[in-house]
Amino acid sequence: MSIEIRPITPDLAEIFVGLFDRLDFEHQRAWKSCYCRYYYLDCTFDQWRERTGENNRADAIAAIKAGRMPGWIALEDGLCVGWVNAGESRTYPRLQKDLAAIVKDELVGLTICYVVDPAYRNHGLARRLLEAAIAGFRQAGYAAAIALPVDLPMPGERRYRGSLNMYQEAGYVQITSLDVVKVLRLDLK
C-alpha cells in the first residue's frame, strides 16, 4: 500500500466526494448521504433528515473549494481511500453548545469524522490520518486538540469518531464526558 496523506485542498474536492459516491455504507445507510456535512449545519435533526445526498455533496464540494471544510485525505493512485474531518473546533455549529465551556477562548483543533474504505480498514489508516491532523494543528499554532469518541461497544466500521484507544495511544487524556461521549484532549504546546 502506497498511501499519501494530504490536507484537503480545493483541487481534491471531487476526489473526496468520490469516496462517499462509491461506498455503500451497508453498516449505516444514512451515512452515505452525509458527505461529512452534519456537524457544519445548525439545523434540527428533522431538517437534517430532509436534506438529500445531492445537497450535501454539493455543499461539501463548495465548502472544500472555499476552504471551509478542513481535514486530511488518504490517497492511493489518485483515489480517496480515507478521510478525517479535522479543523478548528468553533467551526462546527452543531457542537458549539457542548464545546463552548470546554474550548473557552483557546484555539483548539477537533477531529470528528473518519471515513475509511473497507478495503483499507485495520491497517492503521485512521491512526495515520490522526497523526497528520495533530501535526497540522501543531503547525497552525493550536493550543490543543480534542476528540469526542463514543464509548459504547460497537463494530469498528461504526466508530466514525475514532476509537478511545486510538486517541489514548496518541497521548490524549480524558477531561470529561458528555453522556456516552468521552471528551479527550491533547495539549500541543
Domain with residue 123: its CATH number is 3.40.630.30
Cβ-proximal residues to 141 (8 Å cutoff; 6+ apart), any chain:
107
pTM, full prediction: 0.93
* Predicted pLDDT at 155: 54
- Cell of residue 169, nine digits: 495511544
Range of the domain at 43: 4-187
Chain segment 58-79, per-residue pLDDT in tens: 999 999 999 999 999 999 999 9
Number of domains in the chain: 1
Could you give the CA distance from residue 37 to residue 51 in angstroms, rounded to a whole number?
10
Choose among 116, 46, 50, 48: nearest CA to 79. Answer: 116
Could you give the CA distance from residue 97 to residue 178 in angstroms, rounded to a whole number?
11
Evaluate if residue 148 carries a pLDDT over 80. Answer: yes
Chain segment 88-135, per-residue pLDDT in tens: 999 999 999 999 999 999 999 999 999 999 999 989 999 999 999 999
C-alpha pair distances (Å), 101 with each of 33, 71, 96, 138, 184: 31, 24, 9, 22, 14
